[in-house]
A and B are shown apart, each in its own frame.
Chain A
Amino acid sequence: MNHLPLIIQREYLTKVRNKSFLIMTVLSPLIFIALITVVVYLSQMNNNKQRIISVLDDSGMLTEVFKDTDNTKYNLLTGLTLDNAKTIVEEKGDYGLLHINKLENFENAATSVQFYSEESPSLSVISSLENKIEKELTNLNMASQGVDIEMIKASKIKVNIAQENFSGVKSSKIDSVVKLAFGGAAGYLLFMFIIIYGNMIMRSVIEEKTSRIIEVIISSVKPVQLMLGKIIGTSLAGVTQFIIWIILGGVLLTVVSAIFGIDFAQAQTPQQELMRQAMANPDANMKVQSLFTAFYNLPLTNLVIAFLLFFISGYLLYSSLYAAIGAAVDNETDTQQFMLPILMPLILAVYVGMFTVIEDPHGTVSTIFSFIPFTSPVVMLMRIPFGVPIWQQVVSLLLLIGTFMFTVWFAAKIYRVGILMYGKKPTYKELIKWIRY
Chain B
Amino acid sequence: MNNLLEVHQVSKKFGDFTALNNVSITVPKGSIFGLLGPNGAGKTTLIRVINQITMPDSGHVLLDGEALKNHHVKDIGYLPEERGLYKSMKVGEQALYLAQLKGMQKAEAKKRLKMWFERLEIGDWWNKKIQELSKGMAQKIQFVVTVLHEPKLLIFDEPFSGFDPINANLIKDEILRLRDEGATVIFSTHRMESVEELCDQIALIHKSNKVLDGNLMDIKRQYKSNTFQIGINPNNDNLEQELASKFSVTPAEFKTLEDDLKLNIKLSNNESANDLLSYLTSKGQISHFVEVIPSANDIFIQTVKNN
The answer to whether the Cβ of A264 comes within 8 Å of any Cβ in the partner chain is no
Could you say which interface size class chain B belongs to?
A: 20 to 34
CB distance from A7 to the nearest CB of B (A): 8
- Verify A219–B80 contact, CB threshold 8 A: yes
Smallest CB-CB A-B distances: 3 pairs? A212-B84, A220-B101, A215-B80
Residues of B within 8 A of A437 (CB): 14-15
Given contacts A7-B101, A218-B53, 15 further A-B contacts (CB under 8 A): A6-B100, A6-B101, A211-B84, A211-B87, A215-B80, A215-B83, A216-B80, A216-B83, A216-B84, A216-B85, A219-B76, A219-B78, A220-B101, A422-B82, A436-B15
A27 at the A/B interface (Cβ < 8 Å)? Answer: no
What CA separation (Å) do A436 and B76 show in the bound complex?
27
Residues of B within 8 A of A221 (CB): 73, 101
Could you mark each residue 210-230 of chain A with 1 if its beta carbon is under 8 Å from any beta carbon of chain B, else 0?
011101111111100000000
Give the Cβ gap from A80 to chain B, nearest Cβ, in Å. Answer: 77
Q: List 9 A-B contacts (CB under 8 A).
A: A14-B88, A14-B89, A213-B85, A215-B78, A216-B79, A216-B84, A219-B52, A220-B98, A222-B70
Which residues of B, 1-45, contact A by the 8 Å Cβ criterion? 14-15
The answer, yes or no, to whether B102 is at the interface (CB within 8 Å) is: yes
Contact pick for B86, options A213, A222, A420, A433, CB 8 Å: A213
Instruction: Judge if B65 is at the interface, Cβ distance under 8 Å.
Output: no
Query: Given A1-B73, A219-B76, A433-B15, are A212 and B101 also a contact pair (CB < 8 Å)?
Result: no
Structural contact, A18 and B88, CB atoms closer than 8 A: yes
Given known pairs A216-B98, A218-B53, A219-B76, the reply for A14 and B86 (CB within 8 Å) is yes
Question: Which residues of A are found within 8 Å of B145, using beta-carbon distances?
Answer: 216
Task: Identify which of A14, A213, A422 gathers the most chain B CB atoms within 10 Å of its CB.
Answer: A213
Nearest neighbor of B79 in chain A, beta-carbon distance: A216
A73 at the interface (CB under 8 A from B): no
Query: How far does the Cβ of A203 sit from chain B's closest Cβ, in whole Å?
Result: 12
Residue B226 interfacial (CB < 8 Å): no
User: Which of B71, B73, B85, B89 makes the CB contact (< 8 A) with A219?
Assistant: B73
Residues on A with C-beta less than 8 A from B83 are 212-213, 215-216
| Nearest A-chain residue to B131, judged by Cβ | A211
CB contact between A1 and one of B70, B82, B86, B142 (< 8 Å): that residue = B70
Q: Which residues of B contact A3 (CB under 8 A)?
A: 100-101
Please provide the chain A residues from 316 to 356 with a CB less than 8 Å away from any CB of chain B in the complex: none
Which residues of the partner chain B approach A6 to less than 8 Å between Cβ atoms? 97, 100-101
Report if A10 contacts B (CB, 8 A). Answer: yes
Q: Which residues of B contact A217 (CB under 8 A)?
A: 98, 101
How close is B45's CB to chain A, nearest CB, in angstroms? 10
| CB-nearest residue of chain A to B99 | A220
Interface residues of A in 409-437 (CB under 8 A from B): 420, 422, 433, 436-437
Complex contacts, A18 vs chain B, CB 8 Å: 88
- Whether A219 contacts B53 by the Cβ 8 Å rule is yes
Chain A interface size range: 20 to 34
Residues of B within 8 A of A222 (CB): 70
Closest A residue by C-beta to B97: A10
Please measure, in the bound complex, the distance between the C-alpha atom of A91 and the C-alpha atom of B98, giving whole angstroms. Answer: 81
Residues on A with C-beta less than 8 A from B80 are 212, 215-216, 219
Name the residue on A nearest B87 (C-beta): A211
* B303 contacts chain A at the CB level, 8 A cutoff: no
Q: Which residues of B contact A420 (CB under 8 A)?
A: 48, 53
The complex places the Cα of A64 from the Cα of B78 at a distance, in Å, of: 93
Complexed CA–CA distance, A401 and B72 (Å)? 33
CB distance from B93 to the nearest CB of A (A): 9
In the assembled complex, the Cα of A14 lies from the Cα of B14 at a distance in Å of 35
Q: Is the C-beta of B227 less than 8 angstroms from some C-beta in chain A?
A: no
In the bound complex, CA of A213 to CA of B87 (Å): 9
Complex partner residue of A220 from B85, B86, B102, CB under 8 angstroms: B102
Given A1-B73, A6-B97: A211 in contact with B78 (beta carbons within 8 A): no
Does B167 have its Cβ within 8 Å of any Cβ on chain A? no
A221–B97 Cα distance when bound, in Å, is 12
Proximity string of chain A (264-293) to chain B, C-beta cutoff 8 Å, 1 when within and 0 when not: 000000000000000000000000000000
Nearest CB of A to B108, in Å:
15
Task: For B97, list chain A residues within 8 Å (CB).
Answer: 6, 10
Contacts of A220 in B (CB 8 A): 73, 98, 101-102
B51 CB–A CB distance under 8 Å: yes
Inside 8 A of A213's CB, which chain B residues have their CB?
83-86
Alpha-carbon distance A10/B89, docked complex (angstroms): 10
C-alpha gap A221/B79 in the complex (Å)? 15
Name the CB-closest residue of B to A226: B101
Please encode chain B, from 128 to 161, with 1 for each CB lying within 8 Å of some chain A CB and 0 for all others. Answer: 0000000000000010010000000000000000
Q: Separation in Å of the A200 CB from the closest CB of chain B?
A: 14
Other-chain contact of A211, B14, B74, B86 (Cβ < 8 Å): B86
Q: In the complex, which residue of chain A has the Cβ closest to the Cβ of B102?
A: A220
A10→B106 CA distance, assembly (Å): 14
Q: A208 vs B85: C-alpha distance in the bound complex, in angstroms?
A: 8
Which residues on A sit within 8 Å (CB–CB) of B78?
215-216, 219
Encoded as 1 (CB less than 8 Å from any A CB) or 0, chain B from 214 to 231 comes to 000000000000000000
Q: Using an 8 Å CB-CB cutoff, how does the interface string of A1-23 with B read, 1 for contact, 0 for none?
A: 10100110010001000100000
Could you say which residues of chain B place their CB within 8 Å of the CB of A212?
Answer: 80, 82-84
The docked-state distance in angstroms from the alpha carbon of A215 to that of B15 is 21
Residues of A within 8 Å of B48, CB to CB, are 420
Bound-complex Cα distance A207 to B87 (A)? 9
Most A Cβ at <10 Å: residue of B79, B97, B98, B142: B97
